[in-house]
Amino acid sequence: MIKVGLLGAGRIAGVHATAISSNPGSTLAAVSDYIPENAEKLAAAYGSTARTTEEIIADDSIDAVLIATSTDTHSDLIEAATAAGKAVLCEKPVDLSLKRARECQKNAAANGKPVMIGFNRRFDPNFAALKSALDAGEVGTAEMLAITSYDPAPPPIAYIKVSGGLFRDMMIHDFDMANFIMGEAPVTVSAVGSCLVDPEIGAAGDVDTAAVTLTYADGKIATIRNTRRAGYGDQRVELQGSEGMLQVGNLVENLMVKSTAAGVVSAKPVLFFLERYMPAYAAEWNAFVDALNSGGDLPVTLEDGVAALAMAEAATQSVKTGQPVRLADV
Protein backbone atom coordinates (compact mmCIF):
# COMPACT_ATOMS: atom_id res chain seq x y z
CA MET A 1 0.00 0.00 0.00
CA ILE A 2 1.45 3.36 -1.05
CA LYS A 3 0.92 6.04 1.59
CA VAL A 4 0.41 9.41 -0.06
CA GLY A 5 0.69 12.97 1.17
CA LEU A 6 -1.42 15.47 -0.79
CA LEU A 7 0.13 18.95 -0.87
CA GLY A 8 -2.60 21.47 -1.62
CA ALA A 9 -6.31 21.36 -0.90
CA GLY A 10 -7.83 23.41 -3.70
CA ARG A 11 -10.23 22.42 -6.44
CA ILE A 12 -7.85 20.16 -8.37
CA ALA A 13 -6.58 18.60 -5.15
CA GLY A 14 -10.09 17.31 -4.51
CA VAL A 15 -10.01 15.47 -7.83
CA HIS A 16 -6.67 13.93 -6.92
CA ALA A 17 -7.92 12.97 -3.46
CA THR A 18 -10.69 10.99 -5.13
CA ALA A 19 -8.22 9.25 -7.43
CA ILE A 20 -5.84 8.38 -4.58
CA SER A 21 -8.64 7.01 -2.41
CA SER A 22 -10.22 5.05 -5.25
CA ASN A 23 -7.06 3.12 -6.12
CA PRO A 24 -6.77 -0.07 -4.02
CA GLY A 25 -3.00 0.29 -4.00
CA SER A 26 -2.84 3.77 -2.41
CA THR A 27 -4.17 5.55 0.64
CA LEU A 28 -4.43 9.24 1.44
CA ALA A 29 -2.27 9.54 4.55
CA ALA A 30 -2.23 13.32 4.99
CA VAL A 31 -3.26 16.63 3.41
CA SER A 32 -1.65 20.06 3.70
CA ASP A 33 -2.54 23.53 2.49
CA TYR A 34 -1.40 27.08 3.18
CA ILE A 35 -4.92 27.63 4.50
CA PRO A 36 -5.13 25.01 7.29
CA GLU A 37 -8.92 25.00 7.29
CA ASN A 38 -8.96 23.85 3.67
CA ALA A 39 -6.63 20.96 4.48
CA GLU A 40 -8.76 19.96 7.45
CA LYS A 41 -11.95 19.98 5.38
CA LEU A 42 -10.49 17.90 2.53
CA ALA A 43 -8.78 15.47 4.91
CA ALA A 44 -12.01 14.94 6.85
CA ALA A 45 -13.91 14.17 3.64
CA TYR A 46 -11.53 11.29 2.90
CA GLY A 47 -10.84 10.01 6.41
CA SER A 48 -7.34 11.47 6.38
CA THR A 49 -5.36 13.88 8.56
CA ALA A 50 -4.40 17.51 8.04
CA ARG A 51 -0.71 18.25 8.58
CA THR A 52 1.82 20.83 7.46
CA THR A 53 3.75 20.34 4.24
CA GLU A 54 6.98 20.16 6.21
CA GLU A 55 5.59 17.39 8.43
CA ILE A 56 4.44 15.37 5.43
CA ILE A 57 7.79 15.60 3.67
CA ALA A 58 9.68 14.70 6.85
CA ASP A 59 7.48 11.66 7.58
CA ASP A 60 9.40 8.55 6.54
CA SER A 61 6.21 6.47 6.56
CA ILE A 62 4.81 8.47 3.62
CA ASP A 63 5.98 6.98 0.33
CA ALA A 64 4.86 9.58 -2.19
CA VAL A 65 3.50 13.09 -2.47
CA LEU A 66 1.12 14.60 -4.96
CA ILE A 67 1.85 18.29 -5.46
CA ALA A 68 -1.24 20.37 -6.23
CA THR A 69 -0.04 23.70 -4.84
CA SER A 70 0.56 27.00 -6.64
CA THR A 71 3.05 26.81 -9.50
CA ASP A 72 5.65 29.00 -7.80
CA THR A 73 6.14 26.26 -5.17
CA HIS A 74 6.45 23.25 -7.50
CA SER A 75 10.22 23.12 -8.04
CA ASP A 76 11.03 23.62 -4.35
CA LEU A 77 8.58 20.91 -3.30
CA ILE A 78 9.80 18.45 -5.94
CA GLU A 79 13.36 18.89 -4.72
CA ALA A 80 12.43 18.66 -1.04
CA ALA A 81 10.26 15.57 -1.50
CA THR A 82 12.75 13.65 -3.64
CA ALA A 83 15.56 14.56 -1.24
CA ALA A 84 13.41 13.03 1.52
CA GLY A 85 13.15 9.80 -0.47
CA LYS A 86 9.63 10.25 -1.79
CA ALA A 87 8.19 9.62 -5.24
CA VAL A 88 6.38 12.63 -6.71
CA LEU A 89 3.45 13.34 -8.98
CA CYS A 90 3.35 17.10 -9.57
CA GLU A 91 0.72 19.13 -11.35
CA LYS A 92 1.87 21.09 -14.39
CA PRO A 93 3.82 23.26 -15.01
CA VAL A 94 7.12 22.43 -13.34
CA ASP A 95 7.79 26.10 -12.69
CA LEU A 96 7.05 29.57 -14.03
CA SER A 97 10.76 29.89 -14.90
CA LEU A 98 12.32 27.59 -17.50
CA LYS A 99 15.75 28.10 -15.92
CA ARG A 100 14.44 27.09 -12.50
CA ALA A 101 12.63 24.08 -13.99
CA ARG A 102 15.87 22.88 -15.56
CA GLU A 103 17.65 23.25 -12.23
CA CYS A 104 14.88 21.25 -10.59
CA GLN A 105 15.24 18.53 -13.23
CA LYS A 106 18.96 18.25 -12.49
CA ASN A 107 18.53 18.26 -8.71
CA ALA A 108 15.66 15.75 -8.72
CA ALA A 109 17.67 13.41 -10.95
CA ALA A 110 20.52 13.54 -8.44
CA ASN A 111 18.08 12.60 -5.67
CA GLY A 112 17.18 9.47 -7.60
CA LYS A 113 13.45 9.28 -6.90
CA PRO A 114 10.75 9.07 -9.62
CA VAL A 115 8.97 12.30 -10.61
CA MET A 116 5.91 12.37 -12.85
CA ILE A 117 4.29 15.56 -14.19
CA GLY A 118 0.51 15.74 -14.32
CA PHE A 119 -0.29 15.99 -18.02
CA ASN A 120 -3.56 14.17 -17.55
CA ARG A 121 -4.77 14.56 -21.13
CA ARG A 122 -2.36 11.84 -22.25
CA PHE A 123 -4.54 9.49 -20.24
CA ASP A 124 -7.84 10.51 -21.80
CA PRO A 125 -9.03 7.25 -23.42
CA ASN A 126 -9.97 9.02 -26.66
CA PHE A 127 -6.64 10.78 -27.14
CA ALA A 128 -4.83 7.61 -26.08
CA ALA A 129 -6.74 5.69 -28.77
CA LEU A 130 -5.66 8.23 -31.39
CA LYS A 131 -2.03 7.88 -30.33
CA SER A 132 -2.26 4.07 -30.43
CA ALA A 133 -3.80 4.13 -33.91
CA LEU A 134 -1.07 6.44 -35.18
CA ASP A 135 1.69 4.32 -33.66
CA ALA A 136 0.13 1.22 -35.24
CA GLY A 137 0.43 2.83 -38.66
CA GLU A 138 -3.31 2.85 -39.29
CA VAL A 139 -3.14 6.18 -41.18
CA GLY A 140 0.47 6.02 -42.29
CA THR A 141 2.92 8.57 -40.98
CA ALA A 142 1.91 11.83 -39.29
CA GLU A 143 1.93 14.95 -41.46
CA MET A 144 -0.30 17.56 -39.80
CA LEU A 145 -1.74 17.87 -36.30
CA ALA A 146 -4.46 20.30 -35.21
CA ILE A 147 -5.33 20.79 -31.54
CA THR A 148 -8.30 22.92 -30.45
CA SER A 149 -8.59 23.74 -26.76
CA TYR A 150 -11.19 26.33 -25.78
CA ASP A 151 -12.13 26.98 -22.17
CA PRO A 152 -15.76 27.87 -21.36
CA ALA A 153 -14.79 31.00 -19.38
CA PRO A 154 -11.62 32.75 -18.20
CA PRO A 155 -10.34 32.28 -14.65
CA PRO A 156 -10.37 35.18 -12.17
CA ILE A 157 -7.97 38.04 -12.90
CA ALA A 158 -6.19 37.35 -9.60
CA TYR A 159 -5.35 33.90 -10.95
CA ILE A 160 -4.26 35.27 -14.34
CA LYS A 161 -1.73 37.53 -12.61
CA VAL A 162 0.13 34.61 -11.00
CA SER A 163 -0.50 31.91 -13.62
CA GLY A 164 2.52 32.61 -15.81
CA GLY A 165 0.30 33.46 -18.77
CA LEU A 166 -1.84 31.52 -21.21
CA PHE A 167 1.07 29.64 -22.78
CA ARG A 168 2.47 28.35 -19.46
CA ASP A 169 -0.89 27.80 -17.78
CA MET A 170 -3.36 26.70 -20.46
CA MET A 171 -1.62 25.86 -23.72
CA ILE A 172 1.09 23.90 -21.93
CA HIS A 173 -1.33 20.94 -21.94
CA ASP A 174 -1.52 21.22 -25.72
CA PHE A 175 2.25 21.54 -26.10
CA ASP A 176 2.59 18.26 -24.23
CA MET A 177 -0.15 16.67 -26.33
CA ALA A 178 1.72 17.68 -29.49
CA ASN A 179 4.93 16.12 -28.15
CA PHE A 180 3.02 13.00 -27.08
CA ILE A 181 1.27 12.48 -30.40
CA MET A 182 4.14 13.48 -32.69
CA GLY A 183 6.67 11.60 -30.60
CA GLU A 184 9.16 14.46 -30.66
CA ALA A 185 9.57 18.17 -29.98
CA PRO A 186 9.33 20.73 -32.79
CA VAL A 187 12.22 22.76 -34.18
CA THR A 188 10.46 26.12 -34.25
CA VAL A 189 7.54 27.73 -32.44
CA SER A 190 5.59 30.62 -33.96
CA ALA A 191 2.82 32.28 -31.94
CA VAL A 192 0.30 35.09 -32.19
CA GLY A 193 -1.89 36.27 -29.34
CA SER A 194 -4.57 38.85 -28.67
CA CYS A 195 -6.76 40.08 -25.85
CA LEU A 196 -10.32 39.76 -27.15
CA VAL A 197 -12.21 38.30 -24.19
CA ASP A 198 -11.49 40.65 -21.29
CA PRO A 199 -9.37 43.83 -21.38
CA GLU A 200 -8.45 43.19 -17.75
CA ILE A 201 -6.53 40.11 -18.90
CA GLY A 202 -4.50 42.33 -21.22
CA ALA A 203 -3.96 44.83 -18.42
CA ALA A 204 -2.56 41.95 -16.35
CA GLY A 205 0.02 41.35 -19.10
CA ASP A 206 -1.52 38.26 -20.68
CA VAL A 207 -3.42 37.23 -23.81
CA ASP A 208 -6.71 35.34 -23.85
CA THR A 209 -6.78 34.23 -27.48
CA ALA A 210 -3.80 32.58 -29.18
CA ALA A 211 -2.67 30.39 -32.05
CA VAL A 212 0.64 28.58 -32.39
CA THR A 213 2.32 26.83 -35.31
CA LEU A 214 4.95 24.18 -34.62
CA THR A 215 7.32 22.99 -37.34
CA TYR A 216 9.34 19.80 -37.19
CA ALA A 217 12.69 18.70 -38.56
CA ASP A 218 11.10 16.45 -41.20
CA GLY A 219 8.53 19.04 -42.30
CA LYS A 220 5.56 17.99 -40.14
CA ILE A 221 3.33 20.83 -38.96
CA ALA A 222 1.16 21.21 -35.86
CA THR A 223 -1.25 24.00 -34.99
CA ILE A 224 -2.76 24.81 -31.59
CA ARG A 225 -5.66 27.18 -30.95
CA ASN A 226 -6.67 28.45 -27.51
CA THR A 227 -9.27 30.85 -26.21
CA ARG A 228 -10.27 31.57 -22.64
CA ARG A 229 -13.93 31.96 -23.63
CA ALA A 230 -16.11 29.52 -25.52
CA GLY A 231 -19.47 29.05 -23.82
CA TYR A 232 -19.89 25.63 -25.42
CA GLY A 233 -16.42 24.32 -24.52
CA ASP A 234 -14.25 22.73 -27.18
CA GLN A 235 -11.59 20.00 -26.91
CA ARG A 236 -10.69 18.38 -30.25
CA VAL A 237 -7.69 16.78 -31.96
CA GLU A 238 -7.22 15.99 -35.65
CA LEU A 239 -4.24 14.12 -37.09
CA GLN A 240 -3.70 13.99 -40.82
CA GLY A 241 -1.54 11.07 -41.88
CA SER A 242 -0.09 9.97 -45.19
CA GLU A 243 -2.86 7.37 -45.58
CA GLY A 244 -5.82 8.85 -43.70
CA MET A 245 -7.06 10.96 -40.81
CA LEU A 246 -7.65 10.41 -37.11
CA GLN A 247 -10.09 12.65 -35.23
CA VAL A 248 -11.27 13.00 -31.65
CA GLY A 249 -14.33 15.17 -31.22
CA ASN A 250 -15.97 16.69 -28.18
CA LEU A 251 -17.56 14.57 -25.48
CA VAL A 252 -21.18 15.62 -25.11
CA GLU A 253 -23.42 15.70 -22.05
CA ASN A 254 -25.64 12.98 -23.51
CA LEU A 255 -26.10 11.19 -26.83
CA MET A 256 -29.69 12.19 -27.49
CA VAL A 257 -30.34 13.98 -30.79
CA LYS A 258 -33.71 15.67 -31.32
CA SER A 259 -34.86 16.00 -34.93
CA THR A 260 -37.97 18.05 -35.76
CA ALA A 261 -39.21 20.31 -38.51
CA ALA A 262 -37.49 23.15 -36.69
CA GLY A 263 -34.08 21.51 -36.98
CA VAL A 264 -31.74 19.01 -35.40
CA VAL A 265 -30.46 19.60 -31.86
CA SER A 266 -27.91 17.66 -29.83
CA ALA A 267 -26.41 18.10 -26.38
CA LYS A 268 -23.58 20.51 -25.57
CA PRO A 269 -20.01 19.34 -25.02
CA VAL A 270 -19.03 18.55 -21.45
CA LEU A 271 -17.93 22.02 -20.41
CA PHE A 272 -15.49 22.14 -17.56
CA PHE A 273 -12.14 20.38 -17.60
CA LEU A 274 -12.74 18.68 -14.24
CA GLU A 275 -15.75 16.84 -15.64
CA ARG A 276 -14.33 16.44 -19.15
CA TYR A 277 -11.12 14.84 -17.93
CA MET A 278 -12.25 13.09 -14.75
CA PRO A 279 -11.53 9.59 -16.16
CA ALA A 280 -8.12 10.84 -17.30
CA TYR A 281 -7.19 11.99 -13.79
CA ALA A 282 -8.05 8.54 -12.41
CA ALA A 283 -6.08 6.78 -15.17
CA GLU A 284 -3.13 9.09 -14.57
CA TRP A 285 -2.97 8.20 -10.88
CA ASN A 286 -3.41 4.50 -11.59
CA ALA A 287 -0.49 4.63 -14.03
CA PHE A 288 1.67 6.34 -11.39
CA VAL A 289 0.86 3.69 -8.80
CA ASP A 290 1.46 0.88 -11.29
CA ALA A 291 4.88 2.29 -12.20
CA LEU A 292 5.91 2.60 -8.55
CA ASN A 293 4.78 -0.94 -7.76
CA SER A 294 6.42 -2.49 -10.81
CA GLY A 295 9.56 -0.38 -10.80
CA GLY A 296 8.85 0.41 -14.45
CA ASP A 297 9.23 3.69 -16.30
CA LEU A 298 6.86 6.54 -15.55
CA PRO A 299 4.56 7.34 -18.50
CA VAL A 300 5.23 11.09 -18.12
CA THR A 301 8.51 12.43 -16.79
CA LEU A 302 10.01 15.60 -15.41
CA GLU A 303 11.83 15.85 -18.74
CA ASP A 304 8.44 15.97 -20.48
CA GLY A 305 7.39 18.78 -18.18
CA VAL A 306 10.50 20.81 -18.94
CA ALA A 307 10.06 20.20 -22.69
CA ALA A 308 6.50 21.58 -22.66
CA LEU A 309 7.60 24.56 -20.57
CA ALA A 310 10.37 25.31 -23.11
CA MET A 311 7.71 25.43 -25.84
CA ALA A 312 5.62 27.80 -23.70
CA GLU A 313 8.66 30.03 -23.25
CA ALA A 314 9.32 29.99 -27.01
CA ALA A 315 5.68 30.91 -27.70
CA THR A 316 5.86 33.78 -25.21
CA GLN A 317 8.99 35.11 -26.91
CA SER A 318 7.42 34.71 -30.36
CA VAL A 319 4.36 36.77 -29.41
CA LYS A 320 6.62 39.57 -28.15
CA THR A 321 8.94 39.61 -31.17
CA GLY A 322 6.54 38.62 -33.93
CA GLN A 323 9.11 36.09 -35.13
CA PRO A 324 9.40 32.29 -35.02
CA VAL A 325 11.61 31.05 -32.18
CA ARG A 326 13.92 28.06 -32.44
CA LEU A 327 13.31 25.76 -29.50
CA ALA A 328 17.05 25.15 -29.21
CA ASP A 329 17.53 28.86 -28.47
CA VAL A 330 15.34 29.08 -25.37
Residue 233 confidence class, pLDDT cut points 50, 70, 90: confident
Please, are residues 125 and 237 in contact by the beta-carbon 8 Å criterion?
no
User: Tell me, what's the pLDDT at 83?
Assistant: 98
Q: How far is CA 65 from CA 188, 194, 201, in A?
A: 35, 38, 33
- Provide the sign of the torsion angle of the four alpha carbons 175, 177, 178, 180, taken in this order: positive
Domain ranges, ordered by start, for the chain? 2-113, 122-280+307-329
Q: What is the mean pLDDT of residues 136-165?
A: 94
| Domain 2-113: CATH class, spelled out | alpha beta
Rounded to an integer, what distance in angstroms lies between the CA atom of residue 74 and that of residue 92? 9
Q: Indicate if 122-280+307-329 has the same CATH topology as 2-113.
A: no
pLDDT tens column, 266-314:
998 887 677 889 999 999 999 999 999 999 999 999 999 999 999 999 9
User: How does the average pLDDT of the chain come out, rounded?
Assistant: 96
CATH fold for domain 122-280+307-329: Dihydrodipicolinate Reductase; domain 2 (3.30.360)
pLDDT tens column, 13-60:
999 999 999 999 999 999 999 999 999 999 999 999 999 999 999 999
Q: What is the mean pLDDT of residues 76-98?
A: 97
